[in-house]
Chain A
Amino acid sequence: MKSNKIFISGDEAVAQGVRLSRPHVIAAYPITPQTITVERLSEMCEAGEMDGEYMHVESEHSAISAAMGASSVGARTFTASSSQGLLYMAEGLHYCSGGRWPVVMMNANRSVALPWSIYGDQRDSLSLLDCGWIQVYVEDAQEALDMIIQAYKIAEHKDVLTPMMVNLDGFILTHTYELVEIPEQKMVDEFLPSFQTPNKMSFEEPKNLGFSSKPDDNTEFKYQQNKAMFDAIDVIRDVDQEFADKFGRKYHDMVEEYRCEDAEVVLVALGSVCGTIRVVVDKMRAEGKKVGLLKIRYIRPFPETEVKDLAKRVNAIGVIDKDISFGYEGTVYTNVNSAISKIDKYVYKSNFVGGLGGRDITKDEIEEMFNKLISGVENKSEEKVEFFSLNVETND
């Protein structure tokens, strides 16, 4: 295969993925650190590299509303947001999944005010886990580009018809430049055919959409929505395999295990921190410690089978959360823990909450987490939720 690599940021890689997916409508509103994506898309539209209509909406609420409107007549749509903007969209996120409109969105993971912070953590999207969107988290710019293309194929699948959010860590991924392979348009066109849906208004077959339901019917609609999310798991697998066959890059479906074959202690994480964990795993493996990484790619639908399967094989699981559900624990941990509780085996568990508001998670910190997990198993400790590397003294 002829290589076509260019040096671009994560935001720009997303824009390339969108261009190649040929959306009819882009509903764009700026917010740091997503803005570069919609800037690049406007340039591509101006240059005639894209045929899509570019809408300058006046808010994120209107961005998702316009995307839904376009999708409701059968148009492929894209929008992008982050943090406060994603939260401003929240009504529309639920609305969109309930309407079964397969809008694809890029979210630049950013902290949520107050205090204000433009830097990265994952509290924005994780606080919206229940809004009915497929959520995938990527680790680098190449995966970002590839997942935009895959996202349309997954979201628009007739068994799925569910919107999809591709999450990139703010700045760490959105603003970091990497060499990214740009697929050929012809190959993307072969992989991703035009959007066809029965769920649209048309003059051939007029429809009333976005309707009300009575208590007699509402649960059934929600059942179908939930079922579609579970059905998406098979589609995600098939699409990833088809993508690998076509483009030579495979992303290991719902999760990726890194050096977990004979691992005793594993850290679970989402997004860019996985890159750092890989380095620590390699170092500790060289020292003879049996550690590994479980990279959760999709958190909705949740990879329950994969987490249970791993838990059966290991002694300890630690979860890094760039997120906290105040008054309890990290949201990723809650989800992972729920899956582990369904197997009949003791696994030592720990939740490491940190990396909030853009603070780096360092190799040393990750090594310390692994060591805590190892000693936790040895001492048969109780599970623990801790904010790591706090700069203040606490009485915990």
Chain B
Amino acid sequence: MTNLADIPKVNAKNMTEKEFFYGHKACAGCGGSIAVRLALKVLGERTYTALPAGCMSAVGFIFPQMAFNTNAIITTFPGSASMASGIAVGAKALGQKDVKTVVFAGDGGTADIGFQALSGMIDRNDDVLYICYDNEAYMNTGIQKSGLTPYGTKTTTTPAGKNLPGTTTHKKNLFEIIAAHDIAYAATASIGYPQDYLNKVNKAKHIKGATFIHVYASCPTGWGIPIETSVEIAKDAVDCGLIFLAEFEDGEYKLNKNPKQFAPVKDYLKKQGRFKHMTDENIEVVIEHRDKKWSRMRKNWL
């Protein structure tokens, strides 16, 4: 097995100039498309790319205008992990060497409808890197709540009004749920910290078997933010502690970033149309949830 410490680093300077996801019809400022573009630059040409029904497939595969320069395929919505498993196992059975299969699926496609197949893929340890780009709602269908939509978010199925603050549940602990499978490698990332994300994709690329990256990817259209702040807001989410950067490897959790002090949650929330309606009381619920989570992570993962 490759010694992970010896893998050459990929960074903005030495990264390939080739584009593998190009000419697509994503909205301006789309964080999901940044996550796909960067990961494919790390993974390179010998990649099979599988995407379920969702934003990235909707903007990338409109016959006859195909936006992927790698092999790529749209899967069924619940079956991205199993179809990717089939690709990886088929490639192995055909004797293909030096191949990686990658999935790019959204938060709904991963934490909700695609979860069963993902669990099976990890159980079989098929040679697939599964990347969940999390924009915190079903964006392709027009901003509906998913299992990864955070508390207080206004979506088209969790309206904020006199009686409800928008979404009333917190995000599923997706990263820990995946880690609980005893997966060889899982990580969280944010397009606001691109070098960290590149490193994690690069590491996963060199691990044979099932790996998982949960990358936070902003959606200006769904979040109500200016398009030029897409990357900045994804950084803010980490800096205020609502999103954390971590890894799970060899059965151990590792916090990659453990800030002494968080940036104000309120500033992060109030920049976004989806949270504009939140009262100080609602924001307290978010902060309390964040603090509980961090005290647990700091206790167990450091």
- Please indicate whether A and B come from the same complex rather than being unrelated chains: yes
Q: A58-B116, A211-B61, A212-B57 are in contact. Are A65 and B86 (CB under 8 A)?
A: yes
How extensive is the interface on chain B, given as a class?
35 or more
B119 lies within 8 A of chain A by Cβ: yes
Q: A208-B66, A210-B75 are in contact. Are A71 and B61 (CB under 8 A)?
A: no
A49 lies within 8 A of chain B by Cβ: no
| A95 to B, closest residue via Cβ | B76
| Most chain A beta-carbon contacts within 10 A, residue among B64, B79, B120 | B79
Q: Note all chain A residues with C-beta closer than 8 A to B178.
A: none
Q: How far is the CB of B122 from chain A (nearest CB, A)?
A: 10
Contact: A210 with B73, CB < 8 Å?
Answer: yes
Number of A residues near B (Cβ < 8 Å) is 43
Q: How far is the CA of A201 from the CA of B90 in the complex (A)?
A: 11
B124 lies within 8 A of chain A by Cβ: yes
Q: How far is the CA of A67 from the CA of B89 in the complex (A)?
A: 10
The number of inter-chain residue pairs (CB within 8 angstroms) is: 157
Contact: B123 with A58, CB < 8 Å?
Answer: yes
Q: A61-B78, A62-B79, A211-B61 are in contact. Are A203 and B84 (CB under 8 A)?
A: no
Q: How far is the CB of A229 from chain B (nearest CB, A)?
A: 21
| B101 to A, closest residue via Cβ | A69
Q: Note all chain A residues with C-beta closer than 8 A to B62.
A: 211-214
Q: Note all chain B residues with C-beta closer than 8 A to A74.
A: 90, 94
Q: Note all chain A residues with C-beta closer than 8 A to B82.
A: 57-58, 61-63, 65-66, 69
* 8 Å CB interface, B255-293 against A: none
| B59 to A, closest residue via Cβ | A212
Q: How far is the CA of A95 from the CA of B42 in the complex (A)?
A: 31
Q: Note all chain B residues with C-beta closer than 8 A to A61.
A: 76, 78-79, 82, 116-117
Residues of B with Cβ closer than 8 Å to A? 45-46, 48, 50, 57-58, 60-64, 66-76, 78-79, 81-94, 96, 99, 116-117, 119-120, 123-124
Residues of A with Cβ closer than 8 Å to B? 24-25, 27, 51-53, 55-59, 61-75, 77, 91-92, 95, 201-203, 206-214, 217
Task: A68-B83, A210-B73 given; name 9 further pairs at CB < 8 Å.
Answer: A25-B89, A53-B90, A58-B117, A61-B82, A62-B116, A67-B86, A75-B94, A203-B96, A208-B72
Closest 5 CB pairs of A and B: A69-B86, A65-B79, A70-B90, A58-B120, A62-B82
**Pairs across A and B, CB under 8 Å, 13 listed:** A58-B117, A62-B81, A65-B82, A72-B86, A201-B87, A202-B71, A203-B46, A208-B61, A208-B72, A209-B72, A210-B73, A211-B63, A212-B74
